[in-house]
Amino acid sequence: MKSYLILVILLIIKASTIFAADYSYSGSTGPAFWGNINETCIKGENQSPIDIPYDEFIKFNKPDNVEFYNVNNVEIENKGHSIQISKNLNAKLKIGDNEYNLLQFHFHTPSEHRINGNYHDVEAHFVFVDKEGKLSVIGVFYDVSDQQSKFFDPIVSNIPNKNEKKSIEFIELSSVLEDINLMNTTYNYFGSLTTPPCTEGVIWWVAHPVQPIGKDQYLKLRDTMGFNSRYVQVRKGFVNNNL
């Protein structure tokens, strides 16, 4: 009985450790301390996001194939730090012989990547995975505009309460690919997840043409998520050594 009690106490301590390890964007669980959650966040050498020097940004690259289809009955989740859409998605990337399927997409305010020190109001991350679990992410920038976004409309109209989920009937996902010029102008680099566990080996595609988002759409998204942008990481091998 005594050993059973000790086991229960140990489990409670373990559970509280896991709970404490939840990450945030300020204070003692903020980005500067993510190394306490996963070492890769502090020791990794190819961490994301980055400040992309313009000279590098204009050297475009693209996947071997990319397809985005409109989707029905997807799930939207308010994860506190982020708004994430998943399930019933239909988009794919081909990089060499590997096919990657769209697992989920979510948003960051302000943008995580910067271009020559400049940022944008929102960055969408479309997270793809292949059969072996390798990841590839397309980043798309949005700036506040007089023009409403058809893509964001069903998303900001259906934001659930914190830690809750909802269903969205229809998202015009195909428009995203058209908007970013069919990925003819994306900056391609090897990086990481921008949140713990900060896993490396992620093939990044940061799309160049910045898209419009309506003022009220932007403010609703921003004020739901708050500041959820990791600061840019120091990288080796860039032409501009200051970045």
Q: Which residues bind a second copy (CB under 8 A)?
A: 24-32, 51, 109-110, 114, 116-119, 121, 143-146, 215, 218-219, 222-223, 226-227, 231-232, 234-235, 241-243
Task: Find the shortest distance in angstroms from Cβ 57 to a second copy.
Answer: 14
As a whole number of angstroms, the distance between CA 77 and CA 85 comes to 6
Beta carbon of residue 26, minimum distance to a second copy (angstroms, whole number): 4
Single out the residue of 168, 169, 136 nearest to residue 66, CA to CA: 136
Indicate the residue among 152 and 218 with the shorter CB distance to a second copy. Answer: 218
Residue 110 burial (CB count, 10 A):
15
Q: State the minimum distance, in angstroms, from the CB of residue 23 to a second copy.
A: 11
Which region, left, alpha or beta, applies to residue 41 given φ > 0 means left and ψ of -120 to 50 means alpha?
A: alpha
* Nearer to a second copy (CB atom), residue 24 or residue 86: 24
> Quick one: 133 or 237, whose CB is closer to a second copy?
237
CB of 226 to a second copy, least distance (A): 4
Nearer to a second copy, 120 or 130 (CB): 120
d(CA 82, CA 107): 6
Q: Give the whole-angstrom CA distance, residue 118 versus residue 211.
A: 15
Question: Least distance to a second copy from the beta carbon of 120, Å?
Answer: 9
Cα-based distances in Å from 103 to 2, 142, 149, 151, 152: 46, 21, 22, 18, 18
| Identity of the residue, 68 or 187, whose beta carbon is nearer to a second copy in the bound complex | 187
Q: How many CA atoms lie within 13 A of 123 on its CB side?
A: 26
How many Å apart are CA 202 and CA 193, to the nearest integer?
A: 7
Residue numbers annotated as active site: 81
